[in-house]
Structure 1
Amino acid sequence: MIRTKHLLNLLMVFLVSQSLIFAQKGKPVYTNPLGIQAYTFRGSWPRGIEATLDTIQKLGITEMEGGPIPGMSTEELRKQLDKRNIKMPSIGADYTALAKSTDETIKNAKILGASYVMVASIPHDRSGFTLENAKKAVEDFNRSGKILKENGITLTYHNHGFEFVPYEDGTLFDYLVQNTNPEYVSFEMDILWTAFPGQDPVKLLNKYGSRWKLMHLKDLKKGVKGDLSGGTPKTNDVALGKGSIDIEGVLKAAKKAGVKHYFIEDESPSYLKQIPETIAYIKSLKY
């Protein structure tokens, strides 16, 4: 009798554990709000800002990374975003303009409600990105980042592929991360521009953890040979899940690293067709 009770208890423990495991199956990998990079709709904005915002809203997107849009005042843009319940947590800023003055960027960020400012590239000549370029960027980022932080804004640098030039036991991207002040400078990973030059987005997310605050979600066409140019034909930008990047692995590593906001960026001419495919793929990923 005692043995039977013992076996029943073990069976109950087993059944409970199995039910918990089963209950966890089907949990979504991606749980953040859907975000979009405004550049994705570069062909749509000139044809109508409000109509484009309506399209974004209908896609179920509730966050956008962007900034002022030509043809509409920044104040009016904020009203139109609010009307559609779309937040703009991050805006872009030109490297050279930001290095000269942070005033305009801070003004726009506050109007639009952004808490992050993203710089998408570092000036360099066609011969390639150099240590001198990296040193200058570190100086500029630390200075601008300090001012932005004093205004409640976090500066992030968006990698563009050319920064992965070998340097010492790593790359010049490692130099940027290791020499910028974590209090003032964070990073946004563009996963295509991480994979294209031959880097592993998952390993880089794991390596620098909380330094990553934002992410551009995009996929690279299978079979494309990358390099350090920071450029590839826009047709190599494919819907998530159809390319060569381990999107599921990236999303899991990004969640572990604590990435705050994710923005779909599709540079393909077929962006209107590919965005719904990308969204469907993201939602299909389950643990």
Structure 2
Amino acid sequence: MSLNLFEAPALGRRQFLSGLSAGAAGIVLGGSALAAGRRGFFDRIGKPIGIQIYTLGDEAGKDIDATFARLSQIGYRDLELPGLLGKTPAALKAAADRAGLRFSSIHLPFQGMPGGGSLSLMSDPQRIADDLGALGIFQGVAPIAPFPVNFRPQHGEDMKAAIGRSFAAAGKGHWQRTAATLNERAAALRPFGIVIGYHNHNIEFAPVDGTTGWDVLVSETDPKLVHFEVDVGWVTAAGLDPVAFFRKHTGRCRWMHIKDVKASTQTNFVLSMDPTEVGSGKQDWARILPAARAAGVEHFYLEQEPPFTMPRIDAAAKGFTFLSRLKA
């Protein structure tokens, strides 16, 4: 964003500048730069601070008017839905309107995955278009790859370990099929004006058959059809630098999950992290957020994983306060 230089109303700009001492000109120009430097990141780029409603857990849908009113009071305006929250699209849209909020994206899980719900990426395109249209949304994001066929934990195995093992066993072919499905569904929904994306965890970055699931998704999805929602918490948990990650994938990143992690988070590929409130962890937001914007990110959604050390809505408020004051 360029700065507007001052103008002299009576004199030509060059004449006015020539009449100033070098020191005075420095003070004026320096003051303008200082004022610009005091602006917060989101104010500077003209984008709202959003939130993924998943952050608030199951409680969010129990009294949707109260939930949305509190989010509006905090200062949020842009929402990403994890699903329909057990409501009709019309009821959700009406509640958002009452609170002065808008939806800009919704997660559309692959059919058959746990928690898929009634609306999925594999639903009839007309049904998806009708539901998203009622919500005022034209963007849908697959929240995770479909689980491998016959996925089930082994005896004594926890869910995270089971997921990591099953994706590793499924091999490169599973990611190729996922990429093909994303291309097909994005092409089917494009005539309705719906944009499709994919949200990463850290399982995508595990080595598999000489590559990674992520590299397969990036190389085998059509960049004109499929975009990415970058969750920097999971990028960090995979041992990667979010700034370098955004630079590498400029032009493919449309959404971002602003997620913080503690320094105790160990590199892994099995959905494990030590989460914390945004601004309280090790993420260098003053570097990450500008890199995300430069890479093409249009929507910034705060998201936090459990376990929480405070009520979820308080964590959302704490993160918003931090982000609203951040200079970057």
Q: TM-score, normalised by structure 2?
A: 0.78
2:138 matches 1:115:
yes
Paired amino acid for 2:280: K
Q: What SS class does the counterpart of residue 24 from structure 1 fall into?
A: helix
Match of 1:89 among 84, 104, 120: 104
- For residues 191 and 239 of structure 1, what CA distance do their matches in structure 2 show? 14
Asked if 1:146 corresponds to 2:187, the answer is: yes
**What are the Cα deviations for residues 197-246 of structure 1, in whole angstroms up to 9, with x where unaligned?**
111111111111121111111101121213001234xxx22111211211
**Equivalent residue number for residue 247 of structure 1:** 285
State the Cα distance separating 1:107 from its structure 2 match.
2.1
Shift of 1:98: 1.9
The answer (yes or no) to whether the contact 2:93–2:134 under 8 Å persists in 1 is yes
SS at match of 1:43: helix
**What residue in structure 1 maps to residue 68 of structure 2?**
53
Change in CA separation of 1:80 and 1:195 when aligned onto 2, cut-off 3 Å: same
Whether 1:69 aligns to 2:110 is no
- Larger RCO (alpha carbons 8 Å, 6+ apart): 1
- Whether 1:202 aligns to 2:243 is yes
- The 2-side partners of 1:16 and 1:100 are apart by 59
Residue number in structure 1 paired with 2:3:
none
Structure 1 residues 100 and 19, CA gap change in structure 2 (3 angstroms): closer
* SS at structure 2 position matched to 1:188: strand
**Structure 2 residue matching 1:91: 3-state secondary structure:** strand
Paired residues, number: 279
Identify the residue that residue 115 of structure 2 maps to in structure 1.
Answer: none
Q: CA deviation at 1:139?
A: 0.6
Is 1:183 aligned with 2:199? no
Shift of the 9–65 alpha-carbon distance from structure 1 to 2, 3 Å rule, reads same
What is the match of residue 207 of structure 2? 166
| Residue in structure 1 matching 2:295, options 247, 257, 261 | 257
Measure how far apart 1:9 and its partner are: 4.6
1:157 and 2:198 are equivalent in the alignment = yes
Aligned-partner Cα distance in 1 for 2:199–2:125: 18
Give the fraction of aligned pairs with identical amino acids, expressed as a percent: 25
Q: Alpha carbons of 1:46 and 1:76: their partners in 2 closer, same or farther (altered >3 Å)? A: closer
Segments of 5+ residues of structure 1 without an aligned counterpart are 1-5
